[in-house]
Chains A and B, each alone.
Chain A
Amino acid sequence: MARRCVMADGQAASQTILVVGGGMSGLTAAVEAAEVGRDVILVEKRPYLGGRVAQLNKYFPKLCTPACGLEINYQRVRNNPRITVLTLTEVQEIQGSEGDYTVRLRENPRFVNEKCTACGECAKACDAEVDDEFNFGLSKVKAVGNGHNMAYPNRYAMSPEFAKTPEAEKLVAVCPVGAIEPKMEAKESTLHISSIIWATGWTPYDASKIRPYGYGRIPNVTTNMRIERMANKFGPSGGKIVRDDGKEIKNVAFIQCAGSRDHNYLPFCSRICCLASMKQTTYVREQFPDAKITIYYIDLRAMDRYEAFQKKIEADQGIRWIKSKPARIDADLESRSPIVIGEDTLTGVRYADKYDLVVLATGMEPNIAASPVPASGMTYDAYGFLANATTGIVGTGCATGPQDVSGSVQASTAAALKAIQSAAKARG
């Protein structure tokens, strides 16, 4: 794909919109602005688009697959000559002001050039494996690959560590089209653009920081995002929700606000976790029709018409709802089963209940907190979320606060308008 910094039909570069982040929010913002007729450059730091939603098995409340909407959005990207996608790219520096920004980009090497046909011969020949970030470390993947089976663009990339090894050089000869380039180097470039949409999304909160819950220490304590991958048929366990010892699962607990609404971790509410756990009860039910399910919660937050979804899940008689934030999890070493300990606040009963699997409904850590916008004059809230105070650089999706998919899409559509307004101002 050739890079076009001055766009297709000669729209002035200064009216171009830069969208940072290729997840649902960024994709939406890019596509919506481009379909108005604006030129858009969409940069994504991973080798492929799709962000967090690409890792989800299903959406609440429809229980449909995110791949469906992603495919439509990829189609919109493919069919629209106004959108330029730059993967493996990060924004280094932003200078200037609304209507006239100079942005320095760094495109990290993919080590696989544009000739790649995604035929897969290199991966077949490659023995080296790396941790599979897409599957939250539940599996290993080849050091060269396309990320996941629905990746867009469907082009291979090589892990930078592997690219340095002699094995990488051997793959050069394997590729039938000469696409492997282990010596590929990072490229820097400068763009002139009118406005910026910042959509860098979120990372699941690191559950191992919640010490009393023993994630990483106690067997069969897992996280909601790992469950998404497990339940996905193209995931590491072929769609099966599994214990580490393969034993049958009869009793599953979900712990809400695992790291959210908690001043020790993330003080805000991550918004989606209640509904996500409700959704995940359907995964459990589908695979284990007789399983008992318990949801530990503080407040159930099924806002507006999501209420119907809560009602639907409540109809499952096999679910116990306990208003309680568990205090800790102990390990039953013999059975390798976690014991959840706390107080049921509606009965006052102290419980210590053993489960085959405990799912921590971990929240959202804003990526922007760790990598703020490299521009001056930005305002952030107490948790590092971007305030939408600056014109010209507009935050959207989970860069501004915890959001669900629909909310992110709404906000990103709105962000596209703000970006276009900036361009209109630049035009005068």
Chain B
Amino acid sequence: MAYDLSFAKEVYKTSEVGYWIKMCMQCGVCAGSCPLGPHWEHSPRQLFQLVRAGKMEEVLKSDSMWMCTSCYNCIVRCPRGLPITHIVHGLARLAVEKGMADPKQPTRRFAVEVFWDNITSTGRVGEAGLTMKLYFIDGIGPGIQRGLEMKNQALGMLKTKRLNPIPFRSKIKGFAGFKAMLDKAFELEAKKESNA
């Protein structure tokens, strides 16, 4: 049944700033502001109305919230002041928590399988390693193919010094502190979840 608010209330409560969804007036500015707008299955506005309509599956199984590049255009322009970027990230996270996010969703794979390890291992992004890992995520064949497709871009970036070709980088200064921070964050999150 639509507009049963149990899902909406769950979202309002659990996902970071989800309660802001209540305030959306369905004007559509967010969709028009988003540089990736046309690639979303549901625009943020639509996601919000779906949440309010109680359409849990349609929301959490959609790949819309994985499209966000955190450019913050929508937040700046939203006439109701909704922190859209954060809400959308919250929805993505809820989808993962509920096991409803598609494990093959490329953004998600990049985040979970590539980016996280890359950045936490040294404390900084190793661009070459990151790229390599992303290209070869599905095996050697597709990796080579992707690499060739992007060859010109890569060379161009190299030439203009926008890409560091050295795959391995040293850890940041004070890496231990960084690690401690991460551990603490994990601990807090776990506590929050067990409370919820």
Contact = CB atoms under 8 A, between A and B. Distances in A.
Contacts of A350: 31-32, 37-38, 43
Interface string A321-360: 0011111100000000000011111001010000000000
B29 interface: yes
> Interface extent on B, as a size class?
20 to 34
A238 interface: no
A343 B43 CA distance: 9
A50 B33 CA distance: 40
15 contacts: A257-B79, A261-B25, A261-B79, A262-B79, A264-B76, A298-B26, A324-B28, A324-B32, A325-B27, A326-B32, A327-B28, A327-B32, A342-B32, A343-B43, A345-B45
Interface of B: 25-33, 37-38, 42-43, 45-46, 76-77, 79-81
A327 B71 CA distance: 15
B43 A348 contact: yes
A263 interface: yes
Interface string A39-56: 000000000000000000
A327 B79 contact: no
Q: Chain B binding site: helix, strand, loop or mixed by DSSP? A: helix
A344 B31 CA distance: 9
The 6 closest A-B pairs by CB, nearest first: A327-B32, A342-B32, A343-B31, A262-B79, A325-B27, A343-B28
Contacts of B33: 212, 327-328
Interface of A: 212, 257, 261-264, 298, 323-328, 341-345, 348, 350
Q: Which one of A257, A263, A264, A327 has the highest number of Cβ atoms from chain B below 10 Å of its Cβ?
A: A327
Q: Which one of A212, A298, A343, A344 has the highest number of Cβ atoms from chain B below 10 Å of its Cβ?
A: A343
A298 B37 contact: no
Given A263-B80, A325-B27, 20 more contacts: A257-B27, A257-B79, A263-B79, A264-B76, A325-B28, A325-B29, A325-B79, A327-B28, A327-B32, A327-B77, A341-B32, A342-B31, A342-B32, A343-B28, A343-B30, A343-B37, A343-B43, A344-B28, A348-B43, A348-B46
Contacts of A327: 28-33, 77
Nearest to A212: B77
B35 to A, nearest CB: 11
A99 B76 CA distance: 49
A348 B46 CA distance: 8
B98 to A, nearest CB: 25
A328 B32 contact: yes
A343 B32 contact: yes
A261 B26 CA distance: 12
Given A212-B77, A263-B79, A345 B26 contact: yes
A323 B26 CA distance: 9
A383 to B, nearest CB: 15
Contacts of B38: 350
Contacts of A263: 79-81
Nearest to B31: A343
A341 B33 CA distance: 8
B29 A342 contact: yes
Q: Which one of B26, B27, B37 has the highest number of Cβ atoms from chain A below 10 Å of its Cβ?
A: B27
Nearest to A352: B32
A262 B76 CA distance: 11
A364 to B, nearest CB: 16
A327 B29 CA distance: 4
A108 B76 CA distance: 43
A323 B31 CA distance: 13
B42 to A, nearest CB: 8
